[in-house]
Each structure stands twice: as C-alpha cells, then as structure tokens.
Chain A
Amino acid sequence: MSESVTRAEYCVVACAEAWRGDGEILASPMGTVPTIGARLAKLTFSPDLLLTDGEAMLIGDVPAVGSGSRVTEGWLPYRRHLAMVAGGRRHVMMGASQLDRHGNQNISCVGDWAKPRRQLLGVRGAPVNTLNNPTSYWVPRHSPRVFVDKVDMVSGVGYDRAAAASPMTTRFHEIRRVITDLAVLDFATPDRSLRLLSVHPGVTADQVREATGFPLTVPDAVPHTRMPSAEELRLIREVLDPKGLRDREVRS
C-alpha cells in the first residue's frame, strides 16, 4: 500500500491534520493541496469545519477541488471574513515566499522594499491573520530559497517578532504547523523556533536540513508522516481530486 501512496497524498493528509480538533471554525486553505486537505479533514475527523467557495459564500457541501459548490450555507464577503479573522474563528494555511526559523513569513517582495528586486503580492492579510487566528504555512517546494535566515519583508508575524512587539501582541498569536513537500514542522521548542516533526516517507532528516537555510531543530528520532487510511485515499482520489490536480503542485 505505502508504495502506491504519492508524495502529494502524504502532503494532503499532513495538511488535513493541521485542522484536527479545530471544531466549528473556518478553514482557509490557500493552494491546491491545502484545499484538498481542509476538505478531507471536514469529510473525516473535523466535520464541524466551515469552508468557503473562495469567493463570498460558505458552502454546505464538499465538492472536488476545482469544481463548484451546489449548496450555500452562509455569506462571507471580505468584510465579514475579516471579522472572522479578528474574532479568531478561523485557521488559515497561507503560502510563504520566505519563512525564517521563528515563523516570520514574507509574501510581499524580495530584496529592498523601497525598490524590490522582485515584487510579489504585497503583505495582503498576513499581518492581521497572524496576530488574530491560528496560522499554518504550506510550502510546496522546501528549499533554502524559502527557508531563509531573515525574510526581506515581514508580512506574517513570527514568534520572536510578536513577543518583541508588545506584551499583549502574543495573546492570540499561534503558528501551528508548516507543511512542505518534504516534511511537517512546528515551533514546539523552548525558543519557539522551527522543529522537524515528521518526514514524508522517502525523505531523510538530513535532506530536510540541507533544504533549510538555517539551523533546524531535529529530534533524535523523527517519525514518518502518517500514511493515509484506505478511506482517506479513496476520498482524495475519487471524491476530492479525481483530476489529480494535487500532482501539479507536488511532484512525486
């Protein structure tokens, strides 16, 4: 069985696991694999999660990624979405063009902000997200270009910066997980820095170390990311992503 599970499918399950135990909150996935993951979590161990159609509707069904919803259960235009962020009833999984060892994220620009070498999206909602609702990150290509010593423009706030800002800035701040094509990581160290939690089957801890541009905390024994169950594989392959869009984001 494990031979036939693709890397993308391990990533889907690892993303789904990020929303385990979240209860009746909005799962906001950004990217294909996180979207499949959030929907898998809802269909299995986190049935109370809320999902959107990516526009302004809360959906009452769980369609395949890339196809439309047929059931609307609520209205969530941007202004109400921002209220949900501020109220903390949301767990977002954002992308990261750069991420440092304390979880500071950059999606704004690369190089000097005043005249960037490469302009990206802008900070978007990363500053408000990170101070108000649980945040995870999805990195489809784990590399030293993403995992850098220092990000060029702090958009999403990491543990060190949140703590330094003011004593109460940390009160709703939580970076839960970082999921990449190689591994699952978190910040469960005394100084809240990046730690290897599991490697996907076929990946070694040394590979993850080499693909990370700063010293990574690696426990003595690193487990493998858990395998999807037979039912989860069926849901991924037949229900949530029959067209195999996940393989475009993560190559096997």
Chain B
Amino acid sequence: MSRDKTMTADEVVARLESGMTIGIGGWGSRRKPMALVRALLRSDITDLTVVSYGGPDVGLLASAGKIRKLVAAFVTLDSIPLEPHFRAAREHGAFEMTELDEAMFMWGLTAAGHRLPFMPIRAGLGSDVMKVNPRLRTVRSPYDDGEELVAVPALRLDAALVHLNRADTFGNGQYLGPDPYFDDLFCEAADHAYLSCERIVDSAELRAEHGPQTLLVSRAYVSGVVEAPGGAHFTSCAPDYDRDEAFQRAYAQAATDPEEWRRFTERFLSGDEDAYQAAVAAFAKEAT
C-alpha cells in the first residue's frame, strides 16, 4: 500500500529552509505553483536560489527579498512581456543571476535527474552566456567530429514545487493541458518534490477519463501532495482555467509603484490562501 502524502501548503513550506535551491515548475505565466509560492511568501524563509522558467513566481519572491540567486533564461508574464518586480530587482542589483539559454536550462535539469554531472549541448558558445557565467566549461566530442560543445552542469535542486491539474494522495500527478512544460524534470532533479493540484482524486479516476501519457509525475519523486484549487492563479492552468488577465494587469500595474504595491499586498497577500482566493473573488466581482 502506498503512503498518503497529502499535506497543506504551509506544511510543505515547513519542510523548506533558508538557503535552499528551489526549482519552480510551469513556464512564464503558465501553470505556476502559486499557492505554494504564496505560502513561501508568508514564511520567514529567505536567501533562496530559485531555478525557474520565470514568471510571477520569481516576481513575487523577488519583491519579498527572498532570492539570493536566480537561475533563469527569462522572466515574463507572457501577455505582459516584462515582469516588473524582476526588472526592478535586476536594475537594483538585488540578487545574483545565472542567466542560461532555455535549452541549456532543460539539459541542466535532465542531467540532474539522470545523476550526470553535465550534458553536452550546442548552445551558449559565442554568446555572452559564457561571459556572464565564467564557471561554464566546454567539452570536446571524443568521436571523429571533435566538436566543441558546452557542458551544461546539472541543475540539482533541494526541492521542486510544481502545480498540476490532478493527483492522487500518493503523489502521482496528471496534467490535462496542452504542455507538460518541464514539471517532471523539476521533480526528477530534486531531492524532494512537492506537488500541488487543482483536485486530489482516486488513483482509479486518474486513468478513467484520460490516457496514461497524462500521468506526468510519478509518486517515486514526490514527497508531498497539496490540494489547492485555484493554486496556479493568476497564471493559467488549462483546461481548468485560463490566465486571469485582468488580475495580472492589476498585479503588474501595482508592481510599478511602492505605495500601490503596499495596497496590493495588503489586499491580496496579507492573509492565508483562503483569504487570497476570497479577495480574488471580490476583485472579479468588482470588475463585472
């Protein structure tokens, strides 16, 4: 019999520590584990190395001063190209950054999951990614071609946070949207992976309506499962919901002014997840 791994978002955060390297799944402003990020914001945890295909997860953690170092190829809100908190943090030199190419990032996670020290890739050479990451090394093909390639180091994570559509209590995670992003790789690269989902269902139900290829994450990698309806808000979680564009606009607008941001955090981020969801519902009602 498998183990029940259900827990609350706050219990997930209780297992994290300051100084950890934390990978965050999703992509840009798509299927980000925002309920888990919000729980992190409520904690005293800081000094994090954050590894992310960055979106508002990075923005929020940066705004709260929790990032010591960011590993990313970009940070964006998709429909709003530039993430305002990330931008401000970088322009103030608020944290260190390891800026990688999108493909280098993927192979770094893959290497970590496969317990390899690095993966060779034809990317980075000739670009300033090599200059701003002076510790990056190249490797020469041992075969006849002799091509010089970049040796992307493994992006090993202390913990991974991802959000999927469904999961069972044991940690088998299912995605129902068009793109898995790299959530499975984040889990495989981490010592401990924590998976939030829209709804926890019976294992039998996971397979009842959808093909086995939707079972993206295996319980073998998962330490905790959190049921968090709306847990990706305001990023998208297709097909359960799209990005909340009106809310994202309000977020981005507020982020450009300290006083407005203080009011935004007071209204939306000063309570627990239930308070957040209630404030979002009130915001949506106001808008109609």
Contacts and interface: CB of A to CB of B under 8 A. Distances in A.
Interface core residue of B54, B86, B123, B138 (most chain A CB under 10 Å): B123
Nearest to B147: A168
Contacts of A115: 90-93
A161 B124 CA distance: 11
B272 interface: no
A108 B99 contact: yes
A79 B178 contact: no
A154 interface: yes
Given A157-B125, A157-B126, A127 B104 contact: yes
Interface string B55-81: 000000000000000001111100001
B132 interface: yes
B278 interface: no
B240 interface: no
Contacts of A132: 122-123
Interface stretch (B8-16, B179-187, B200-208, B244-252): B179-187
Interface string A136-162: 000000000000000001111110011
Interface in B201-219: none
A155 B126 contact: no
B145 interface: yes
Interface string B244-263: 00000000000000000000
A75 B72 CA distance: 25
B101 A125 contact: yes
B74 A161 contact: no
Contact of A113 (B87, B126, B128, B148): B128
Interface residues of B, number: 43
A85 B103 CA distance: 9
B288 interface: no
Contact of A128 (B101, B179, B180): B101
Interface core residue of B91, B102, B121, B181 (most chain A CB under 10 Å): B102
B127 A56 contact: no
Contacts of B178: 55-57, 75, 77
Given A132-B122, A155-B128, A124 B182 contact: no
Contact of A56 (B76, B91, B125, B179): B179
Contact of B127 (A85, A119, A157): A157
A36 interface: no
Contacts of B76: 121-122
Contact of B182 (A79, A117, A157, A165): A79
B269 to A, nearest CB: 23
Interface in B79-133: 81-82, 86-87, 90-93, 99-104, 106, 121-129, 131-132
B173 to A, nearest CB: 16
Contacts of A114: 93
A164 B148 CA distance: 12
A77 B180 contact: yes
B27 interface: yes
Nearest to A156: B127
A79 B101 contact: no
A119 B99 contact: no
Contact of B90 (A109, A126, A131): A109
Contacts of A121: 74-76, 81-82
A4 interface: no
B145 A78 contact: no
A57 B238 CA distance: 14
Nearest to A124: B74
A7 to B, nearest CB: 24
Nearest to A95: B81
B146 interface: yes
A85 to B, nearest CB: 7
Contacts of B146: 168
Nearest to B145: A168
Contacts of B129: 123, 127
A86 interface: yes
Interface in B164-182: 178-182
B74 A119 contact: no
A148 to B, nearest CB: 14
**6 smallest A-B Cβ distances: which pairs?**
A122-B74, A128-B123, A157-B126, A56-B178, A115-B93, A165-B126
Given A56-B179, A114-B93, A128-B104, 7 more contacts: A119-B86, A121-B76, A124-B102, A127-B104, A131-B123, A155-B127, A166-B138
17 contacts: A55-B179, A56-B179, A57-B178, A113-B132, A115-B93, A116-B91, A118-B87, A121-B75, A123-B73, A124-B74, A125-B73, A127-B127, A154-B127, A155-B127, A156-B127, A169-B122, A171-B147
Interface of A: 55-57, 75, 77-79, 82, 85-86, 108-109, 113-128, 130-132, 153-158, 161-162, 164-166, 168-169, 171-172
